[in-house]
Amino acid sequence: MARLAGKIVLITGAASGIGRETALLFAANEAKVACVDLTEEANQATVDEINQSGGNAMALTADVSVAADMERIVSETVERFGALHVAFNNAGIMHSDDGDVVATEERIWDLTMNVNAKGVFLGCKYEIPAMLASGGGSIINTASFVAILGAAAPQIAYTASKGAVLALTRELAVIHARQNIRVNALCPGPLRTELLMSLLDTDEKKQRRLVHVPMGRFGEAAEMAQAALFLASDESSFVTGTDFMVDGGLTAAYVTPE
């Protein structure tokens, strides 16, 4: 059964990782998908794969930290597809120079907050009016397990930005609950994505992360897409304001078994 039949979806960060896998999965479930990214070629590749498989997708280029860009892509999505029912505010960065509070430069803090937190704020700012005009919908914001737990590997700007996403998500969920708009935060654990693997570039660094994960492995972007599909679909019709942890048991563990 197509779980998103008739739904119009906007996904940021669709060129790679979680965003790409989600775009492919949503399209396979008969959603019409607006794929948004700053990386045009890779984003177009996602769209081409969807359309060549019989789906219906369009590519939009935007910087999620720029208000005019976000207003434009929502407008173009509605103009092309006629409505907006689901938004996945997924675009984010994890900068290699993001460390502890003493070492991290102000420019790295500002860049990370602009993309990860302001980008979600701007997405919701323009998506919510479009959803209200469409009769309601579901917003999914990508946060992280580090918004719940302090990160042993310092990444102060990233951690703070994802905490902001959780707080923003909760308030939006409460404010818009009676307007038929649900807002949830997807909180992945450490994933085997190009972004994280480029930072964990030695076996020692990888094992330092995995020792805390009861399942003993990194998650996959495709597994996050399945979680996003649940939150986007009507199956989660009574779910709003949640921190949806998909982390291999990491946040449940005090110590992990040998």
pLDDT of residue 256: 58
Q: Residue 246's Cα: distance from chain center in Å?
A: 12
Q: What is the DSSP string of 16-61?
A: SHHHHHHHHHHHHTT-EEEEEES-HHHHHHHHHHHHHTT-EEEEEE
- What integer pLDDT is reported at residue 255 of this predicted model? 63
The answer regarding whether domain 8-191+220-245 maps to CATH 3.40.50.720 reads yes
Residue with the larger pLDDT of the pair 152 and 32? 32
User: Can 158 be counted among the known catalytic residues?
Assistant: yes
- pLDDT-derived band at 253 (thresholds 50, 70, 90) equals confident
pLDDT tens digit sequence for 117-136: 999 999 999 999 999 999 99
Confidence of residue 71 (pLDDT cuts 50, 70, 90): very high
> What local confidence, expressed as pLDDT, does residue 258 receive?
58
Identify the pLDDT of residue 257.
58
For residue 207, the model assigns a pLDDT of 82
Give the pairing of strands 243-246 and 181-188.
Answer: parallel
Give me the pLDDT at residue 82, please: 98
pLDDT in tens, 191-244: 987 777 777 778 887 887 788 889 989 999 999 999 999 999 999 999 999 999
Distance from C-alpha of 98 to C-alpha of 91, rounded to nearest angstrom: 17
- The HSE-up count of residue 156 (CA atoms within 13 Å, CB side) is 13
Return the domain boundaries, the chain: 8-191+220-245
- Contact status, residue 87 vs residue 140, Cβ threshold 8 Å: yes
Active-site option among 158, 162, 193, 210 = 158
